[in-house]
Structure 1
Amino acid sequence: MRKLLLFYLGTLLSSAAIAQYIEQPASWTYSVSVVEENTYEICFQATLREPWHMYDLGPYQGGPQPTRFTFDLPESALLEDAIRMESPPAKAYDPMFGMEIGSFGGKGVFIQKIRLEVPTALIRATVEWQVCDGSSCLPPEVEEFEIRLGDGPVVASETTADKAGDPSPSLWGIILQA
């Protein structure tokens, strides 16, 4: 019984270690540009490895998971218009979903304009997306950004979440609890 337990434990740990080395097919970066005084554009860029593609902003009723952005703004910041795509996605009929769907291959660029009522602010943005290749899709992924807009110090009334103080459970903690 002990040998069997050790075998299963070793297999579980090996699988977890190998899974950590699987490279994600999409990576995200962002840049900020000043449009005019106290107005900024945040440009989010997804770079995708071949043959993967990512869906556009949708929405798709009964279809795939579209790319979705959410912004956590301080009271002193306002979204100007909706997020937009830099270039139009490739549109194609998808027989699996029975509808025309837009997607990006190689890269997708999304731009959001934000206006500040103070010189500096900390913006939190979250993007949720899904990638597919010709035969399968990966589960939706989430990427979080903390973006500082402006030149001066961040307004004192804003707080930053302490990620270091939020321990995530490790595999060892789960195994030892069992």
Structure 2
Amino acid sequence: MKNIRYIMFVLMLSSLWIGAQNGEPVEWEFSTKAVDKDTYEVIMTASMEHPWHIYSQYMEDGGPVPTTITFTENPAIQLVGETKEDCIPIEKYEDVFMLDTRYYEGVVHFVQTVKLRTGTKAPVTVEGTVLFMACSDEQCLTPQERHFKVTLDQNHKQG
């Protein structure tokens, strides 16, 4: 059953991608915020044009591509906990995936707390990628990846 859903999903993506050449419906901004002298928040903000949405990081297998945030290994920092989503996702059954999905419309912030390792002084550069898939009620775009690079620095807020 999962194979059939996967094949249907791939066919839907490939057929709809051709008609989805209307620009970038999702814009990303990356910023940092100092929490204390050794702790920062890396904030990844997705702004979606109506009627587009992106999916939560927490999706069942066999469904749409979840948003996946990956940080490039950096010996100067330690990730604290998991990346948080600052909004409550919309939960909806989607026939094409034959399961309940969780997604965001409008604006959503993904926030990862990072801590400088002992003996490390700011500024420190943090890099990574965000993999996401934008869909509307009529079509889905091919999953896309955005690279980000931010600086952890007590003296200024990035945005």
Report TM bin, short chain: 0.7 to 0.9
Larger Rg: 1
Equivalent position of 2:90 in the other structure: 90
Equivalent position of 1:14 in the other structure: none
Equivalent position of 1:155 in the other structure: none
Deviation at 1:80, TM superposition (A): 0.2
Cα distance per residue 1:93-147 (max 9 Å; x no partner): 1122121111011112100000012112211120000001111100001110111
Matched, 1:27 2:30: no
| C-alpha contact 2:34 2:152 (8 A) present in aligned 1 | no
Cα distance per residue 1:9-61 (max 9 Å; x no partner): xxxxxxxxxxxx94200000022111112100011110001111111112321
Q: Distance in 2 between matches of 1:93 and 1:22?
A: 26
Provide structure 1 residue ranges, at least 5 long, that are not aligned to the other structure.
Answer: 1-20, 153-178
Pairwise CA RMSD of aligned residues? 1.6
Deviation at 1:150, TM superposition (A): 2.4
Equivalent position of 1:50 in the other structure: 50
| C-alpha contact 1:119 1:151 (8 A) present in aligned 2 | no
Provide structure 2 residue ranges, at least 5 long, that are not aligned to the other structure.
Answer: 1-20
Q: Distance in 1 between matches of 2:146 and 2:103?
A: 19
Equivalent position of 2:121 in the other structure: 119
Moved more, 90-99 or 80-89: 90-99
What is the identity percentage for the equivalent residue pairs of Structure 1 and Structure 2? Answer: 27
| C-alpha contact 1:92 1:100 (8 A) present in aligned 2 | yes
Q: Distance in 1 between matches of 2:31 and 2:126?
A: 13
| C-alpha contact 2:70 2:128 (8 A) present in aligned 1 | yes
Give the alignment of 1:29-178 within 5 angstroms: 29-117=29-117, 118-120=120-122, 121-151=124-154
Large movers: runs of 4+ above 4 Å: none
